[in-house]
Chain A
Amino acid sequence: MSVRTLPLVFINLGGEMLYILDQRLQALNTSEDNSEKVMNDIVGTMFSKDFMDELIKPQQLYSHRTLKTVLTRLAHASIMRLNPASMDRLYELMVMAFKYQVFLCPRPKDLLLITYNHIDTIREYVKHTPVVVNQVDETHRKIIEVYSSLPEGEFQLLRQTLLIFFQDMHVRVSLFLKNQIQNPNGRFALSTSGPVPHGIDVPGLIRMFDRKGREVRRCEFPTGGSYSSPVREGCFELHGDRVIRLGMNMYTINHPEETHTSKAPSLLMSKQLATKTDDTPNLLAKEELNLLARLMGSMKAENMPETGFWINLFTTDQEEEEEAASDGAEESLFGVINIQAMQDEQVATELARIAGQFAEGEETPGNLSSSKGDDLLAMMDDL
């Protein structure tokens, strides 16, 4: 469908990833220096000109697997290390947050405001490093240039493409459940009250005209909701009040349990994703491999440090047990998964090898022979 989804997908998912990482770094009393370094490294890689240029090329949105591989590489552009299980849970959180934002987006065009909310906060994270701020600004300008003139119909197509991508994902997130934006069955709450989006008239009016175009009658009908006039429109420039709050940071430093996720009662997410693709062979299409190669190649391979530092992304075994003991009643509903981030040399090396392989060349996609493709697939299967 839409061939313009990738830049928005990476900025928004990347933004959510940074919100979560920031919350964890702060909650664990990580030194300011280390925190800043992690943020600068990830943001610098994500907003690098090469990477953004690759994303902006018209192309399809591929699979979750490709996306997750690239986001993992992005996370590892910093000195932080995450193991695959942590990355899986992190990805779930990121995607559910973005799904919520896209689902509730008032007008299709407001996808840009959501993106700009993410960019605004990202700029704050790296504000002490002018070089990176510059990169963020440049990317922001590019996005404004490419997307501002698109008609609403195109934005809706983009939104529909994203919704298909997020389809059937109902992972429950404790923060969302607590704030009642998500129901216990994993679905998001959709209100039939409140201000209508900008440019839309409040429902309830029927106007009838004569053949000369003069209004001859008007009457009202019950809407079954309670809608009010729209608020002012958000700003689509580099800086300004975006007005809508979707895309702003939902996590605070004081409540680590906010990043708990749990499966919806009926189906496991991994099973859901598997069902989605179960009639396709366990391969990436040639075009998808090409995209992956180009994206990995456009990210500069960092010098893999001897000792990175590792962070516990989510609660440890002990914290889990303590919590389970105190919240006996809720335990059955919230089967919280225990994950640990840990230094995984093997994973880091594999990824470095993949990144290094593609960073080298002006290797054109056509040169990827099938055996090389198989090697790459085998490597990714091991992740």
Chain B
Amino acid sequence: MYHKEKSIQIKNSASALYNNLGVLRIAPRSLTYFTVVHANVVNMVSASWDGLNYSHRQLQSKEPNVATSTSLIMQAAFCALPSRDLLVVTSQKGIQIYESDGSTMVYWHALDIPETPTAQAVFARGISAVESYICVGVSSGAILVFDVPSKGSNITLSDVLKGHEKSITDMASECSGSQECIADLISADDRGNLCVWKSGETFQRFNNIPGFDMSCTSVKLWKGTAVAGYGTGQIRLYEAVTGILHAEVNAHARWIYSLDIAPFSGLLLSAGEDSLVRVWHLTMKPESLSVEVAHLHNECVTDTQICGAKFCDGDGYAFAVTGYDLSEIIRYTQS
């Protein structure tokens, strides 16, 4: 169903972090941007679709310290807003927002870091754009909501959402712009709890889907369905606003590190520490008001704990994968 393409070499290896691959497709310029986090650095590659041109850039976490371990980056992700695309980088120090090509930093938000370290580590993790907002999770369980203007750097912190008691792991959204949705944002935490929100001047929490004390490491929202990956290697599909469980898949033999959905085709990608990437198909079943999931394809990245897997386009024609200690982005295309 898929075959392996030529990999893209990156300057350093990928770190073992959840959802460690960012992809942004720039159709007007026939380019795709990729981001991969390595310790305190974000490796950015801009790849032309004809496969002939690759340019690299590295972004440091702010105030690169002499002790690099104190400025580790937790996640880097692209945010597609109604009138602009931005790159958000979260670390132990705070949140940096760049232009999507990584050329300029437009905003910096510092986290409250106590003088003497407490038992609870402090960091920001979990990034999602919804409408004209960028939402970022924090280790305390809070979610910071930033209001982003259509141009310029006048970004402001407009809200702090409380819904989680444990560190945020991942966030996702759908329905930005044209469609009307009851809920358009979902957040996941280290205890496996999911919160479902509706964005607006004041965000509303619609639902809380409890976990089973096991981290939800990656979450996606598609046609009102929450798709969540857990440390048990399971994928669960819930109806977001009601919390009704549609399906449960014993998908991986180790922790899931990354999920992605191709919205136009309903293809689902899952990847884990067990070195496997799996492709599934989600089908809406309006007659039974449910969603079904079917398995399509497996890829094994030998001896590699996968940390990032994303589709490169909205149909799922191609996907890319990163692995711990691997200095390349592996790509697969439909045969």
Nearest A residue to B272, CB-CB? A203
How close is A221's CB to chain B, nearest CB, in angstroms? 3
Q: How far is the CA of A83 from the CA of B69 in the complex (A)?
A: 28
Q: How far is the CA of A205 from the CA of B236 in the complex (A)?
A: 12
Q: How far is the CA of A151 from the CA of B190 in the complex (A)?
A: 8
- Please encode chain B, from 232 to 270, with 1 for each CB lying within 8 Å of some chain A CB and 0 for all others: 111000000000111111111111000000000000000
Q: Are B70 and A210 in contact (CB under 8 A)?
A: no
Q: Are B290 and A201 in contact (CB under 8 A)?
A: no
B66 touches which one: A187, A188, A200, A285 (CB < 8 A)? Answer: A285
Q: Are A152 and B276 in contact (CB under 8 A)?
A: no
Q: Are B325 and A213 in contact (CB under 8 A)?
A: no
Q: How far is the CA of A121 from the CA of B277 in the complex (A)?
A: 38
Do A201 and B67 contact each other (CB < 8 Å), given the known contacts A1-B92, A183-B303? no
CB of A222 closer than 8 Å to a CB of B = yes
Contacts of B232 in A (CB 8 A): 199-201
Nearest A residue to B285, CB-CB? A208
- Please encode chain B, from 33 to 53, with 1 for each CB lying within 8 Å of some chain A CB and 0 for all others: 000001100000000000000
How close is B123's CB to chain A, nearest CB, in angstroms? 7
How close is A301's CB to chain B, nearest CB, in angstroms? 26
- Please encode chain B, from 214 to 229, with 1 for each CB lying within 8 Å of some chain A CB and 0 for all others: 1100000000000000
Interface hit among A59-67, A313-321, A326-334, A354-362: A59-67
Do A190 and B66 contact each other (CB < 8 Å), given the known contacts A1-B121, A164-B72, A207-B247? no
Interface hit among B11-19, B23-31, B100-108: B11-19
Q: Are A224 and B276 in contact (CB under 8 A)?
A: yes
CB of A172 closer than 8 Å to a CB of B = no
CB of A192 closer than 8 Å to a CB of B = yes
Q: Are B166 and A63 in contact (CB under 8 A)?
A: no
Nearest A residue to B216, CB-CB? A153
Q: Are A103 and B247 in contact (CB under 8 A)?
A: no
CB of A154 closer than 8 Å to a CB of B = yes
CB of B289 closer than 8 Å to a CB of A = yes
Contacts of A163 in B (CB 8 A): 15-16, 324
Interface hit among A253-261, A273-281, A304-312: A273-281
Contacts of B295 in A (CB 8 A): 206, 221-222
Q: How far is the CA of A42 from the CA of B74 in the complex (A)?
A: 37
Q: Are A287 and B247 in contact (CB under 8 A)?
A: no
CB of A160 closer than 8 Å to a CB of B = yes
Q: Are B215 and A225 in contact (CB under 8 A)?
A: no
Q: How far is the CA of A103 from the CA of B305 in the complex (A)?
A: 9
CB of A7 closer than 8 Å to a CB of B = no
Nearest B residue to A211, CB-CB? B244
Do A213 and B231 contact each other (CB < 8 Å), given the known contacts A163-B15, A187-B303? no
CB of A123 closer than 8 Å to a CB of B = no
Q: How far is the CA of A280 from the CA of B251 in the complex (A)?
A: 42
Q: Are A153 and B13 in contact (CB under 8 A)?
A: no
B274 touches which one: A3, A222, A225 (CB < 8 A)? Answer: A225
Contacts of B16 in A (CB 8 A): 159-160, 163-164
CB of B191 closer than 8 Å to a CB of A = yes
CB of B298 closer than 8 Å to a CB of A = yes
Do A197 and B254 contact each other (CB < 8 Å), given the known contacts A164-B39, A190-B305, A209-B247? yes
Q: Are B66 and A283 in contact (CB under 8 A)?
A: yes
- Please encode chain B, from 83 to 123, with 1 for each CB lying within 8 Å of some chain A CB and 0 for all others: 00000000010000000000000000000000001111101
Q: List the count of A-B residue pairs having beta carbons below 8 Å apart.
A: 180
Q: How far is the CA of A1 from the CA of B65 in the complex (A)?
A: 14
How close is A57's CB to chain B, nearest CB, in angstroms? 8
CB of A4 closer than 8 Å to a CB of B = yes
How close is A237's CB to chain B, nearest CB, in angstroms? 21
Q: How far is the CA of A3 from the CA of B250 in the complex (A)?
A: 32
Q: Are A279 and B64 in contact (CB under 8 A)?
A: yes
CB of A2 closer than 8 Å to a CB of B = yes
Within 8 A of B (CB), among A173-208: 183, 187-190, 192, 196-197, 199-208
CB of B5 closer than 8 Å to a CB of A = no
Q: Are A60 and B67 in contact (CB under 8 A)?
A: yes
Q: How far is the CA of A221 from the CA of B297 in the complex (A)?
A: 9
Q: How far is the CA of A225 from the CA of B302 in the complex (A)?
A: 12
Q: Are B13 and A206 in contact (CB under 8 A)?
A: no
Contacts of B60 in A (CB 8 A): 279
Contacts of B123 in A (CB 8 A): 1
How close is B229's CB to chain A, nearest CB, in angstroms? 13
Within 8 A of B (CB), among A141-178: 151-154, 156-157, 159-161, 163-165, 167-168, 170
Q: Are A192 and B274 in contact (CB under 8 A)?
A: yes
Q: Are B253 and A225 in contact (CB under 8 A)?
A: yes
How close is B61's CB to chain A, nearest CB, in angstroms? 12
CB of A51 closer than 8 Å to a CB of B = no
Do A206 and B249 contact each other (CB < 8 Å), given the known contacts A153-B166, A167-B325, A280-B68? yes
How close is B122's CB to chain A, nearest CB, in angstroms? 9
Contacts of A285 in B (CB 8 A): 65-67, 70
B39 touches which one: A167, A189, A287 (CB < 8 A)? Answer: A167
6 tightest Cβ-Cβ pairs between the two chains A and B: A153-B190, A285-B67, A221-B295, A163-B16, A224-B298, A153-B215
Assuming A103-B305, A190-B274, A206-B247, what are 19 further A-B pairs, CB within 8 angstroms? A61-B69, A62-B69, A63-B69, A153-B166, A164-B16, A167-B13, A167-B15, A167-B324, A168-B325, A183-B303, A197-B253, A203-B233, A208-B247, A213-B244, A223-B276, A225-B276, A227-B253, A276-B68, A280-B68
Name 20 A/B residue pairs within 8 A (Cβ), A-sorted: A1-B72, A3-B117, A60-B117, A160-B15, A160-B17, A164-B72, A190-B274, A192-B300, A202-B253, A206-B247, A206-B248, A206-B250, A206-B294, A208-B292, A209-B244, A210-B288, A210-B290, A211-B244, A211-B290, A288-B67
Binding site for A on B (CB under 8 A): 12-13, 15-17, 38-39, 60, 64-70, 72, 74, 92, 117-121, 123, 166-167, 169, 190-191, 213-215, 231-234, 244-255, 274-276, 288-290, 292-295, 298, 300, 302-305, 324-325
